[in-house]
């Protein structure tokens, strides 16, 4: 599961204690699925072959599997370096039974525990444990396959041993592989041949299992060569490379031998719960403690939500107003390679458990932690970058909505457009519950900002919800109310098909003029409810890219051992379509750098589908169908002539091309040529942007990266892309005013209660 490493979640989007107007909280985008353990952590066990005499608590299946499968390079381990198989506890068995009952009888998805589900759990569990298929062999899989159809019935009754048997076998194979890697390094990396025409797959999740140990040995030699090449191309000498890789593998071995029963249980339960949907997951007692710390705001760190991604720890999202967000360099989908404390050497964390990485990143306020990351745009380890972040708390005022204005000249007429940026949907619940009449909230702050903008005579308003992952539902409900008279804002359906409709009952309107709402793929949950309602009411246009598609509600329920976060309800727009899976489709689309195939609800396994229910009666303030084609035409004409958009499209194409690469060369000359080409392209795009601003070009990539570091450290610096997209929102606003002066007038709304519209 993702864990916030900063103080972070003032309004954690992952929990909903109960569905009601004032307390529900929406889950933000949770990329991939909630996986507590890293694949490599599960793969972090190898330095001595398991001896038959040490099998102990493992049952016959484990004995048969371990003793019949071929072993790898024999370890130079001492007698103390022996893997002790983990075993389930009575408390875990009881928790398993409770989880199975909750899933079958209270989850939104009606899903029974069948033979098919048993096979799916088996596949998902192996994916958790060896997602890149680098530890188990084809013969191991054949041996394990005998329990494929038995896991379901065992999970119903708390029989955990089959899952633990699988875990122990994988851990043993991990130990063997890491032993082999260390012995390869001991033989000297100068003996590795980098003049061949070999290549290695970047993603092996769909690859065939290697048939035997010999084939795995060959694969691991390639993995080591890739790791060596990556560091050589970064200018590291062979001695330092050998030391770095040894520390990496030895660290994984140390943690492998320290494998805990809870590790196996957590992985097994998340493979099980993930069958219902990607947002349903099990929290171990330790994870529950971390979660509760996040909710109580007593945690200090960098303000980033992390999750396991094969052998890496990946950034899911940044907390608005947090240290990482303000520093500006760390981005969603970046993968963390190493972590360094002040004045200490970096610690390589590839293959570490997620909770261990989180503990390493946490620290006291005002201390500095340095992360080495593989950027989201990079397809391998070669192009890493180093990011220093000062730890701090996330303060409510730093998440607050803010305003700005842009001036546009169109055909001799001047337009002033107000811009309100909302990083998250927040509310100071403590102050609210204490009866403080001046408590902070999104809606209260936006109402004030609108009044201030209107004093300056703005012609229109742009609401920027890009990268807003959600927050308090009642704030989304109330924010819609600032732009409509009264009416429904969202529907919530539970597993019993009971539908609750949330309404704005306040007839006052803060703003009745033309409106544009900006969204992107990271706009989720409460953001999608607001954007969807504005679209359904015809109160404004949604501009940008398709939103995340997170349209479900979770509740956290206590168990005898840990907690279960379970999906219990689903959101629907007033027009009847769910926000789940599809999200909100913009009226006018602007391309984004974000890869929709990797980020978004529809990129997650077992995500609940889009569906629709009946619409509820609601007003329709303006019908854009008469002008939308002309608006799109004008927008496309501007973009066709826009050098900023041309550069953005070039960058998107470049990133797409990099993402399409499924392998990298292990030939030093070819790999060097590939990296130089990538660096030239990055430098060309950056210098083209500088030319547009009449600035001197960068002489080298190093100069560009130094400049980026300075920009990230300057909190007052401006993001040109944000200005570019916001200005286009303003131009669309001006187009709306030119085409129809009645734009979204709320004076004569039409009542609209048709059946749900498919968007």
Q: Are both 346 and 370 inside the same structural domain?
A: yes
Under the banding of pLDDT at 50, 70 and 90, the label for residue 428 is confident
Q: What are phi and psi of 392, to 5 degrees?
A: -165, 175
In a domain, 528, yes or no: yes
Q: Are both 157 and 249 inside the same structural domain?
A: yes
Tell me how far apart the alpha carbons of residues 665 and 201 are, in angstroms, rounded to a whole number.
Answer: 9
The closest of 256, 23, 25, 35 to 135, measured between CA atoms, is 256
Under the banding of pLDDT at 50, 70 and 90, the label for residue 69 is very low
pLDDT computed for residue 77 by the predictor: 41
pLDDT computed for residue 287 by the predictor: 67
Q: Are both 51 and 174 inside the same structural domain?
A: yes
pLDDT computed for residue 709 by the predictor: 58
> pLDDT higher for 363 or 297?
363
> For 307-330, what is the mean pLDDT?
80
Residue percentage of the chain with pLDDT more than 90: 51
Tokens of residue 314, six digits:
């990946």
pTM as predicted: 0.81
Tell me the β-bridge partners of 317. 305
572: containing domain: 399-639+738-752
Tell me how far apart the alpha carbons of residues 501 and 488 are, in angstroms, rounded to a whole number.
Answer: 6
Tell me how far apart the alpha carbons of residues 30 and 350 are, in angstroms, rounded to a whole number.
Answer: 21
pLDDT at 715 over 50: no
pLDDT computed for residue 319 by the predictor: 77
Tell me how far apart the alpha carbons of residues 744 and 753 are, in angstroms, rounded to a whole number.
Answer: 18
Tell me how far apart the alpha carbons of residues 232 and 224 are, in angstroms, rounded to a whole number.
Answer: 12
pLDDT computed for residue 749 by the predictor: 59
Q: Are both 461 and 509 inside the same structural domain?
A: yes
Residue at which a domain ends, from 369, 390, 411: 390
Q: Are both 353 and 466 inside the same structural domain?
A: no
User: Is 616 within 8 Å of 500 (Cβ atoms)?
Assistant: no
> For 221-243, what is the mean pLDDT?
92
Q: What are phi and psi of 115, to 5 degrees?
A: -65, -40
Under the banding of pLDDT at 50, 70 and 90, the label for residue 261 is very high
Tell me how far apart the alpha carbons of residues 537 and 574 are, in angstroms, rounded to a whole number.
Answer: 9
> pLDDT higher for 694 or 177?
177
How many residues does this entry show for the chain?
Answer: 759
C-beta neighbour count of 635 within 10 angstroms: 18
pLDDT computed for residue 656 by the predictor: 83
Under the banding of pLDDT at 50, 70 and 90, the label for residue 88 is very high
> pLDDT higher for 757 or 468?
468
Query: How many Å separate Cα 537 from the centre of its chain?
Result: 30
Tell me how far apart the alpha carbons of residues 274 and 33 are, in angstroms, rounded to a whole number.
Answer: 7
At 2-32, the pLDDT tens digits run: 443 332 322 233 333 333 333 333 333 332 2
Q: Are both 222 and 333 inside the same structural domain?
A: no
Residues in Cβ contact with 412 at an 8 Å cutoff, skipping those fewer than 6 apart: none
> pLDDT higher for 190 or 301?
190
Q: Report the Cα–Cα distance between both ends of the chain, in Å, rounded.
A: 31
Tokens of residue 5, six digits:
């490493």
Q: Are both 568 and 487 inside the same structural domain?
A: yes
Least trusted range by pLDDT, from 217-226, 328-337, 471-480, 632-641: 328-337
DSSP character string of 652-693: HHHHHHHHH--EEE--HHHHHHHHHHHHHHHHHHHHHHHHHT
Q: Are both 447 and 467 inside the same structural domain?
A: yes
As for how many domains the chain has, the answer is: 3
For 73-142, give the secondary structure using H, E and C: CCCCCCCCCCCCCCCCCHHHHHHHHHHHHHHHHHCCCCCCCCHHHHHHHHHHHHHHHCCCCCCCCHHHHH
Under the banding of pLDDT at 50, 70 and 90, the label for residue 379 is low
In a domain, 450, yes or no: yes
pLDDT computed for residue 354 by the predictor: 78
Query: How many Å separate Cα 599 from the centre of its chain?
Result: 7
At 662-688, the pLDDT tens digits run: 899 999 999 999 888 888 888 888 888
User: Is 270 within 8 Å of 1 (Cβ atoms)?
Assistant: yes
Q: Are both 381 and 249 inside the same structural domain?
A: no
In a domain, 608, yes or no: yes
Strand blocks (E) in 276-412: 281-283, 304-309, 312-318, 335-341, 347-348, 368-374, 385-390, 402-410
pLDDT at 53 over 50: no
Which helix or strand (DSSP H or E) is residue 415 part of?
A: strand 413-421
Separation in Å, CA 632 to CA 210, 231, 636: 51, 47, 6
Q: Are both 263 and 369 inside the same structural domain?
A: no
pLDDT computed for residue 645 by the predictor: 85
Which helix or strand (DSSP H or E) is residue 341 part of?
A: strand 335-341
Tell me how far apart the alpha carbons of residues 581 and 367 are, in angstroms, rounded to a whole number.
Answer: 40
CATH of the domain at 291: 2.30.42.10
pLDDT computed for residue 442 by the predictor: 93
In a domain, 687, yes or no: no
pLDDT computed for residue 724 by the predictor: 83
> pLDDT higher for 111 or 723?
111
Residue at which a domain ends, from 327, 358, 390: 390
Tell me how far apart the alpha carbons of residues 444 and 366 are, in angstroms, rounded to a whole number.
Answer: 31
Active site residues: 525, 536, 550
pLDDT at 617 over 60: yes
In a domain, 594, yes or no: yes
Mean pLDDT of the chain: 82
Residue at which a domain ends, from 273, 304, 334: 273
Q: Are both 505 and 406 inside the same structural domain?
A: yes
User: Is 441 within 8 Å of 475 (Cβ atoms)?
Assistant: yes
Tell me how far apart the alpha carbons of residues 49 and 99 are, in angstroms, rounded to a whole number.
Answer: 35
Separation in Å, CA 728 to CA 446, 589, 616, 650: 22, 11, 33, 18
pLDDT at 696 over 90: no
CATH of the domain at 447: 3.90.226.10
Tokens of residue 513, six digits:
């003029």
Under the banding of pLDDT at 50, 70 and 90, the label for residue 710 is low
> For 125-146, what is the mean pLDDT?
95
The closest of 192, 168, 175, 178 to 62, measured between CA atoms, is 168
At 448-472, the pLDDT tens digits run: 999 999 998 999 999 999 989 888 8
Which helix or strand (DSSP H or E) is residue 563 part of?
A: strand 563-572
pLDDT computed for residue 382 by the predictor: 55
> For 175-199, what is the mean pLDDT?
95
> For 548-554, what is the mean pLDDT?
94
In a domain, 33, yes or no: no
3-state SS class at 541: strand
In a domain, 699, yes or no: no
Q: Are both 570 and 430 inside the same structural domain?
A: yes
Angle at the Cα of 569 from the Cα atoms of 566 and 573, rounded to 5 degrees: 145
Most confident of 38-42, 74-78, 633-637, 647-651: 633-637
DSSP 25: B
In a domain, 213, yes or no: yes
Tell me the β-bridge partners of 201. 663
pLDDT computed for residue 37 by the predictor: 26
Tell me how far apart the alpha carbons of residues 537 and 551 are, in angstroms, rounded to a whole number.
Answer: 19
pLDDT at 716 over 50: no
Least trusted range by pLDDT, from 94-108, 284-298, 586-600: 284-298
């Amino acid at each position: 599961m993702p864990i916030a490493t900063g103080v972070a979640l003032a309004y954690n989007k992952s929990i909903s204690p109960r569905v009601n107007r004032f307390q529900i909280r929406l889950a933000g985008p949770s990329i991939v699925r909630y996986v507590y353990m890293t694949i490599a952590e599960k793969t972090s066990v190898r330095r001595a072959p398991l001896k038959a005499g040490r099998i102990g608590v493992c049952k016959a299946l484990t004995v048969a599997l371990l003793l019949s499968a071929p072993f790898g390079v024999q370890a130079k381990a001492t007698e103390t370096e022996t893997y002790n198989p983990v075993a389930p506890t009575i408390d875990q068995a009881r928790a398993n039974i409770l989880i199975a009952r909750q899933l079958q009888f209270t989850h939104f998805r009606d899903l029974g525990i069948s033979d098919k589900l048993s096979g799916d759990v088996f596949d998902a569990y192996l994916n958790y444990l060896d997602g890149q298929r680098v530890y188990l062999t084809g013969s191991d899989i054949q041996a394990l396959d005998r329990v494929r159809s038995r896991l379901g019935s065992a999970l119903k009754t708390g029989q955990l041993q089959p899952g633990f048997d699988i875990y122990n076998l994988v851990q043993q194979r991990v130990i063997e592989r890491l032993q082999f890697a260390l012995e390869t390094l001991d033989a000297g990396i100068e003996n590795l041949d980098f003049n061949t025409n070999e290549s290695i797959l970047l993603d092996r999740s769909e690859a065939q299992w290697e048939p035997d140990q010999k084939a795995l040995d060959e694969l691991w030699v390639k993995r080591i060569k890739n790791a060596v090449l990556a560091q050589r191309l970064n200018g590291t000498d062979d001695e330092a490379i050998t030391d770095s890789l040894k520390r990496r593998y030895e660290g994984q071995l140390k943690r492998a031998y320290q494998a805990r029963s809870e590790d196996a249980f957590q992985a097994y339960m998340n493979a099980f719960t993930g069958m219902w949907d990607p947002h349903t997951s099990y929290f171990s007692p330790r994870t529950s403690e971390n979660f509760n710390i996040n909710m109580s705001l007593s945690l200090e760190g960098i303000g980033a939500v992390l999750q396991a991604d094969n052998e890496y720890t990946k950034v899911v999202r940044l907390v608005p107003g947090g240290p990482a967000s303000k520093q500006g360099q760390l981005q969603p989908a970046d993968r963390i390679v190493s972590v360094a404390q002040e004045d200490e050497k970096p610690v390589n964390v590839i293959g570490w458990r997620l909770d261990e990485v989180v503990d390493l990143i946490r620290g006291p306020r005002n201390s500095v932690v340095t992360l080495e990351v593989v950027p989201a745009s990079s397809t391998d380890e070669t192009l890493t970058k180093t990011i220093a972040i000062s730890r701090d708390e996330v303060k409510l005022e730093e998440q607050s909505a803010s305003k700005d204005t842009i001036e546009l000249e169109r055909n001799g007429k001047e337009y002033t457009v107000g811009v309100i940026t909302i990083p998250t949907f927040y509310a100071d619940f403590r102050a609210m519950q204490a009866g403080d009449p001046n408590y902070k909230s999104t809606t209260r702050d936006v109402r004030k900002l609108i009044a201030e903008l209107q004093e300056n005579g703005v012609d229109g308003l742009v609401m920027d919800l890009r990268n807003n992952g959600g927050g308090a539902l009642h704030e989304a409900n109330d924010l819609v109310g600032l732009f409509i008279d009264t009416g429904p804002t969202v529907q919530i359906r539970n597993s019993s098909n009971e539908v609750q409709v949330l309404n704005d009952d306040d007839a006052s309107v803060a703003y009745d003029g033309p409106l544009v709402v900006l969204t992107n793929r990271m706009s989720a949950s409460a953001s999608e409810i607001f954007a969807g309602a504005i679209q359904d009411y015809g109160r404004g246009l949604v501009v940008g890219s398709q939103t995340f598609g997170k349209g479900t509600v979770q509740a956290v329920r206590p168990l005898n051992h840990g907690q279960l976060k379970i999906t219990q309800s689903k959101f629907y727009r007033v027009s009847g379509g769910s926000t789940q899976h599809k999200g909100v489709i913009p009226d006018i689309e602007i391309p984004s750098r974000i890869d929709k195939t990797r980020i978004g609800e529809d990129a997650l396994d077992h995500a609940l589908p889009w569906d629709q229910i009946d619409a509820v009666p609601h007003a329709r303030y303006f019908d854009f169908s008469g002008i939308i084609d002309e608006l799109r035409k004008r927008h496309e004409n501007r973009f066709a002539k826009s050098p900023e958009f041309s550069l953005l499209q070039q960058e998107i194409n470049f990133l797409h091309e990099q993402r399409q690469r499924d392998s990298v060369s292990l030939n030093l000359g070819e790999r060097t040529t590939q990296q130089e080409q990538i660096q030239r392209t990055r430098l060309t795009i950056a210098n083209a942007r500088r030319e547009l601003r009449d600035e001197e070009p960068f002489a080298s990539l190093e100069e560009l990266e130094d400049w980026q570091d300075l920009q990230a450290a300057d909190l007052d610096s401006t993001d040109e892309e944000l200005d570019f997209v916001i200005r286009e929102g303003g131009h669309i606003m001006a187009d709306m005013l030119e085409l129809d002066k009645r734009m979204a007038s709320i004076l004569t709304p039409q009542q609209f209660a048709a059946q749900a519209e498919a968007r």
